[in-house]
A = this chain, B = another copy of it.
Amino acid sequence: MKKKDLTKETKILDATVAIIINYGASAISTTKVAKHVGISQSNIYLYFEDKQALLEGVYLREISRLEETPEMKLVMDADRPIIERCFNYLKAMYDFAMANPYSLFVISQIKGLSKSFPDLIEKLVSGHNPVATLFEDGVQAGVLRSIDRSLPMTLIFSVIQRHVENVQNGSYAKNVVSFEELSRLIWGGIAIVPYPSHLLHS
């Protein structure tokens, strides 16, 4: 019997991402994805139940890429000092976003696609959300501002995403806005302790 091509699922996800990057998530169709991969349109349904599942697959893979970063793993190490973990979280997000300039864009595109998507995504992600714990620890320790964590999380995500977009579309050069400048902006918002300059070069 014939076996499934195990690389094909990846290829389909890659093609979907490519289309989102170039035309936005609303432009996604199984027809276009199939054409991009070079397979028949119906073939996609052997790897994904429907279009919704395909989009969820892209979303989840992108989230995992972020979470499985070595730097991000380190952030989640509860033995390290909390201020260091919070700061390194910013650095990890920044490094990831710069290394994967379209990742945050793809995530936000899928999130914003359908009104019902955000709820669904909460379900998909919740449970195994280690960032939530980090924020709670940070507040407890008096490092982070005591406020619903969705607000600082949104702040971090959108500011970094915007920065990467600015660099990407040539609005300014990469070095015009350094990590220090960007993280000072973010830190000023989310934290209630002074900016930890000493952690910059570690």
Contacts and interface: CB of A to CB of B under 8 A. Distances in A.
A91 interface: no
A147 B185 contact: yes
A169 to B, nearest CB: 8
Contact of A182 (B151, B158, B181): B151
A185 B151 contact: yes
Contacts of A159: 151, 154-155, 158, 189
Contacts of A21: 115
Interface string A51-84: 0000000000000000000000000000000000
Contacts of A186: 189
B152 A155 contact: no
Number of copies: 2
Nearest to A192: B188
A26 B113 contact: yes
Interface stretch (A7-15, A41-49, A127-135, A170-178): A170-178
Contacts of A181: 147
Contact of A147 (B23, B113, B177): B177
Given A150-B166, A177-B148, A189 B155 contact: yes
A185 B112 contact: no
A8 to B, nearest CB: 26
Given A23-B115, A188-B189, 17 more contacts: A24-B114, A26-B26, A27-B114, A147-B177, A147-B185, A148-B172, A148-B177, A152-B185, A155-B159, A155-B185, A157-B158, A158-B159, A185-B189, A185-B190, A186-B189, A189-B189, A189-B190
